[in-house]
Structure 1
Amino acid sequence: MIESFFTPYESLPFHAQKVVVLAPHPDDEVLGCGGTLAQLSQQDDIQITVVILSQGEQQGPHPEARLEESRRAQAILGYSQLCAEALPDGAMATNTPLLEETITQYLAEYQPDLVFCPSIWEMHRDHRAVAEATLKVLSALSQASTAEAHLTQVAMYEVGRPLSCNRLVDITATLELKQSAIAQFQSQLAVQAYDRQVLGLNQFRSYTLPLNVMAAEAFHTVALPDIEAFLSQYHPDQVSEALYQANRRCHQLAQQSQATTAQLEALLHSRSWRWTSPLRTFLYKCRKVRKK
């Protein structure tokens, strides 16, 4: 049926032995795939490593407090390991070599057969940067003659923007665990109702699934040999570059507008403007007389 071209009509859980989850900020790992991580944690002989790439310092409070929230969520969801890096929050796109090097190191160390990362359709610049870097690193591995056979697929998750999904995972059984894990991020819930928004998205994702499915998480999965073709089809780096350039231009125009406004304000409050006010009034009245 044509509907299944747009979204899956069945839930397909993940099965893996070694999993690496790449999260740009503390909380992305839970918002994007917390229910799925809780499911995977219940499997025997599985190793799950969550890598928090920045400490989220741009959206306080103290970075250690945000990481502590992720540690409490980890205890609830039950996965084995959480690692924290200190890449610059909000500026990962301008630190691409360091980002790619960090991702490469974790993939080499843990040799996962399943990698979770944000999607290329995310609106946050750090989310997009992590997605692009992950795909680029995996693409290089797939093309290398010594490419590791254990790197089988990448699963992109959604946080700030719905993705084009090709896999749905029923998280009805772990929904309460995900809700409890999200509740640990009080510093972020004070800023935005991420719990209500993300869980609303998860409920919507059950639209094409059976009636007994209360919530689902959506992913776009790509097998290792198909990553290069995926990149050539969607060109995420070109799209992001266009977005970055447009964003820079908007900032430049805003700065120019502020400068012009400041100059106008200075003129209107200047002594010369006040002194010449009677002359301007006189000239204005002269023009009105001439028109008559």
Structure 2
Amino acid sequence: MLTGMTPPVATECHTVYGRPEPLDWLCLAPHPDDAEIGAGGTLIRLAQAGRAVGILELSRGERGTQGTPDVRVHECARAAAIMGLSWRGNLGLPDGELSDTPEGAHALGAALRLVRPRVLVVPHHRDRHPDHFGTYHLAKRAIHLAQLRKADLGGEPHRIMRVLLYQGNADIHPDLLVDVEGVQDVWEAAVRAHDSQFSGQAISETVTPEIIERRRARQSYWGTLARVRYAEAFEAENALLVDPLAL
């Protein structure tokens, strides 16, 4: 929001785990558990390597068939501890209505200034779920606002250096594969921390007790292409600079 204009109604970012600090990587999740099943192995690898890693849920998942917001926030904190995250937060935007709105972009832009990630990981815009592609488009506006000195967000302007798209409920054409074989046990424990979603009745292809089996099959496919056992797939918003000597 530019100076001289009335800012949107503020939405407070609540800390679920850890404390706000400058992060190397931040993963945006429309709902609790989306980050774990889409990019959890990569986040765990980074955390184990000493990088400051975080997850920001945009909603509390309050319209989900199973679980309650209170239950799910405790599951998020438990999963964060398992993964070794530095911080996890929740923006409290309305579940089922995530889209590119001035209010949402203002809240997310302020959160980006708070934790100042270098790399931002967001859902893919081709995802079939409205909240997932809504999160992508909301993130694009928030990234722009967060870097504007005259945007009325509070805090100091911040520029995201790299945006990566992770796989949710749609096929993607990755240009980045991450070996996650060595963190499978931790990844599975983090996913299973969301017990309300993955231990009861199967509701969808993602809310199901078979989630580990299904996502591991996907990781196995990407791993085959990378000549490792398991890999997670990402698309880069901009071209990746690669040292040819590393190829």
Q: Taking structure 2 as the reference length, what is the TM-score of the superposition?
A: 0.75
Rounded Cα–Cα distance in structure 2 between residues aligned with 1:209 and 1:92 = 34
In structure 1, the partner of 2:220 is 203
Rounded Cα–Cα distance in structure 2 between residues aligned with 1:145 and 1:206 = 45
Query: Which of 175, 179, 182 is 2:188 aligned to?
Result: 179
Query: Which of 202, 211, 230 is 1:215 aligned to?
Result: 230
Q: Could you say if the C-alpha distance between residues 123 and 113 of structure 1 is closer, same or farther in structure 2, counting changes exceeding 3 Å?
A: same
User: Contact 2:116 / 2:158 at 8 angstroms: preserved in 1?
Assistant: no
Report 1:85-104 matches (<5 A): 85-93=91-99, 96-104=101-109
Q: Could you say if the C-alpha distance between residues 164 and 140 of structure 1 is closer, same or farther in structure 2, counting changes exceeding 3 Å?
A: farther
Pairwise CA RMSD: 2.5
**Aligned residues, how many?**
205
In structure 2, the partner of 1:108 is 113
Q: Say whether 1:43 aligns with 2:49.
A: yes
Cα deviation code 1:192-249 (max 9, x no counterpart): 2322222221111112112xx211100111249xxxxxxxxxxxxxxxxxxxxxxxxx
Q: Which has the higher helix share?
A: 1
In structure 2, the partner of 1:121 is 126
Query: Which of 40, 50, 59 is 1:54 aligned to?
Result: 59
- 1:141 to partner: Cα distance: 5.9
In structure 2, the partner of 1:130 is 135
User: Contact 1:99 / 1:130 at 8 angstroms: preserved in 2?
Assistant: no
Q: Could you say if the C-alpha distance between residues 172 and 124 of structure 1 is closer, same or farther in structure 2, counting changes exceeding 3 Å?
A: same
- 1:102 to partner: Cα distance: 1.9
User: Contact 2:105 / 2:138 at 8 angstroms: preserved in 1?
Assistant: yes
Cα deviation code 1:100-125 (max 9, x no counterpart): 12220111112211001111111110
Q: Taking structure 1 as the reference length, what is the TM-score of the superposition?
A: 0.64
Rounded Cα–Cα distance in structure 2 between residues aligned with 1:138 and 1:33 = 20
Rounded Cα–Cα distance in structure 1 between residues aligned with 2:145 and 2:32 = 27
Rounded Cα–Cα distance in structure 1 between residues aligned with 2:146 and 2:23 = 19
Unaligned runs of 5+ in 1: 1-15, 225-292
In structure 1, the partner of 2:69 is 63
Report the 3-state secondary structure (helix = DSSP H, G, I; strand = E; otherwise coil) of the residue aligned with 1:57.
coil
Q: Comparing 26-35 with 173-182, which one deviates more in the overlay?
A: 173-182
User: What is the percentage of aligned positions where both structures have the same residue?
Assistant: 25
- 1:150 to partner: Cα distance: 5.0
Q: Could you say if the C-alpha distance between residues 17 and 64 of structure 1 is closer, same or farther in structure 2, counting changes exceeding 3 Å?
A: closer
Bigger-Rg structure (1/2): 1
Q: Could you say if the C-alpha distance between residues 148 and 207 of structure 1 is closer, same or farther in structure 2, counting changes exceeding 3 Å?
A: farther
Q: Comparing 34-43 with 46-55, which one deviates more in the overlay?
A: 46-55
Rounded Cα–Cα distance in structure 2 between residues aligned with 1:148 and 1:85 = 19
Cα deviation code 1:9-66 (max 9, x no counterpart): xxxxxxx96222111100011011100011110223x322211111111113211111
Report the 3-state secondary structure (helix = DSSP H, G, I; strand = E; otherwise coil) of the residue aligned with 2:160.
coil
Rounded Cα–Cα distance in structure 2 between residues aligned with 1:103 and 1:85 = 7
In structure 2, the partner of 1:165 is 174
Letter in 2 for 1:89: D
Rounded Cα–Cα distance in structure 1 between residues aligned with 2:226 and 2:192 = 26
Rounded Cα–Cα distance in structure 2 between residues aligned with 1:181 and 1:61 = 17
Rounded Cα–Cα distance in structure 2 between residues aligned with 1:195 and 1:99 = 32
In structure 2, the partner of 1:230 is none
Rounded Cα–Cα distance in structure 2 between residues aligned with 1:68 and 1:17 = 22
Q: Could you say if the C-alpha distance between residues 215 and 177 of structure 1 is closer, same or farther in structure 2, counting changes exceeding 3 Å?
A: same
Q: Say whether 1:23 aligns with 2:29.
A: yes
In structure 2, the partner of 1:13 is none
